Amino acid sequence: MTEYHGQIQLALAGFYDVLTADGEVFRTRARGNFRKKDLKPLVGDWVTFSAETSKEGYILAIDERTNSIVRPPVANVDQVIIVTAVKMPDWSSNLLDRQLVALEEKHIEPVIYFTKTDLLTAEEKHDFQTIAEGYRRIGYQVVLPEKAFDEESLTQVKLLLANKLTVLMGQTGAGKSTLLNHISPDLQLATGEVSQALSRGRHTTRQVALINLYGGFVADTPGFSAFEVFDMSARELGQYFRDFNQFSDGCRFRGCVHLNEPGCAVKEAVAEGNIMTSRYENYKLFYDLIAGRRPVYNKHDKKH
């Protein structure tokens, strides 16, 4: 039996379609010992598998992952496009910063794409240009379309996809599926109106697949991703704020958590307008949220 190496492109009902470097696709199943080890292959995993035919393969080993996310379940993600509505649902810097922190912790590069910009008044549009510029200064790629899903913003997204594995995520109703449909009209993803009866949106997809778009791979299942929990300790939180890292070396105390310590360079940068006030306020909220959690004793300390 021949052994191959490739990346899982599709997971459906216990079957995994694996793409090799030669462009061949093999349908495989996971060996039973994965279940015993509580290890489940994910779309995006690089795997070694054996196969006699293209329809009968078995996954033998999973390469070490650089990262993985839960919704959608995908491994080795290079970037996440955070689809962020300016209205309907209302804009929330808290939600955006929460998503950015969660992605920084997983070493995934975020891209911010603002939707529904056509609903903004001229004054609101100016405010969002200031917000977008603030996030660009931190080092994030930000797409703020002049008109909803205009050609220029879609071109920016298409150029970002090359040689990367990309996932779209954001609040229900923010326009994730709509953005994917605009990037690739052939997809015809069910956009699923926000359910009136439920506060949560209906799930519109049942499988996870990677699709080849503009020289990269995109997960065709947008994530719901209400990041309600942080995996890091309160003391570690600050290191996942890129803007804080630009100044924290100047803090008087090593291990400064930028709250009540004297000689804090981060608080000074906020006061001088070099760090957005909204970012600092959200940091304090997140810090209190993490610090107020009950400790989970059965969880191994994460080594950094």
In order, the DSSP letters of 248-259 are GGG-SSTT--SS
* Annotated binding residue 277: no
* Domain range 234-291, its CATH number among 1.10.40.50, 1.10.10.10, 3.30.70.3000, 1.20.1290.10: 1.10.40.50
The answer to whether 116 is annotated as binding is: yes
Q: Determine the Cα–Cα distance for residues 96 and 56; give it in Å rounded to an integer.
A: 43
Q: Which two tokens stand for residue 303?
A: 């080594």
Q: Where are the beta strands (DSSP E) in 184-261?
A: 208-213, 216-219
pLDDT of residue 199: 33
The predicted structure's pLDDT at residue 194: 33
The reply to whether 20 sits in an annotated binding site is: no
User: Can you name the CATH fold of 69-219?
Assistant: Rossmann fold (3.40.50)
Cα-atom radius of gyration of the chain, to the nearest Å? Answer: 21
Q: How many whole angstroms separate alpha carbon 274 and alpha carbon 74?
A: 35
How far apart CA 235 and CA 178 sit, in angstroms, is 38
Burial class (CB in 10 A: 0-12, 13-18, 19+), 255: exposed
pLDDT means over runs of 10, the chain (304 residues):
93 92 94 81 96 92 93 92 90 92 93 94 96 97 93 94 93 84 72 35 60 90 61 93 96 94 97 97 95 62 44
pLDDT in tens, 195-237: 333 333 444 445 788 999 999 999 876 665 555 568 899 999 9
174 is in an annotated binding site: yes
What is the distance between the alpha carbons of residues 245 and 262, in angstroms, rounded to a whole number? 18
Q: Where are the domains of the chain?
A: 2-64, 69-219, 234-291
Rounded Cα–Cα distance for residues 217 and 163 (Å): 8
CATH topology of domain 2-64: OB fold (Dihydrolipoamide Acetyltransferase, E2P) (2.40.50)
Residue 66 annotated as part of some ligand binding site = no
Q: Is 304 annotated as a binding residue?
A: no
Token pair 């719901």 is at which residue? 224
- 258 annotated as a binding-site residue: yes
Structure tokens at 102: 């969660």
Two domains, one topology: 69-219 and 234-291:
no
C-alpha to C-alpha distance for 50 and 60, rounded to whole angstroms: 7
Could you give phi then psi for residue 121, rounded to 5 degrees?
-75, 170
Whether 176 has a binding-site annotation, put simply, is yes
pLDDT at 38: 79
Q: Annotated binding residue at 115?
A: yes
Q: Is 195 annotated as contributing to ligand binding?
A: no
The annotation status of 23 as a binding-site residue, yes or no, is no
Whether residue 256 is annotated as binding a ligand: the answer is: yes
177 in a labelled binding site: yes
Cα 141 to Cα 275: distance, rounded to the nearest angstrom? 17
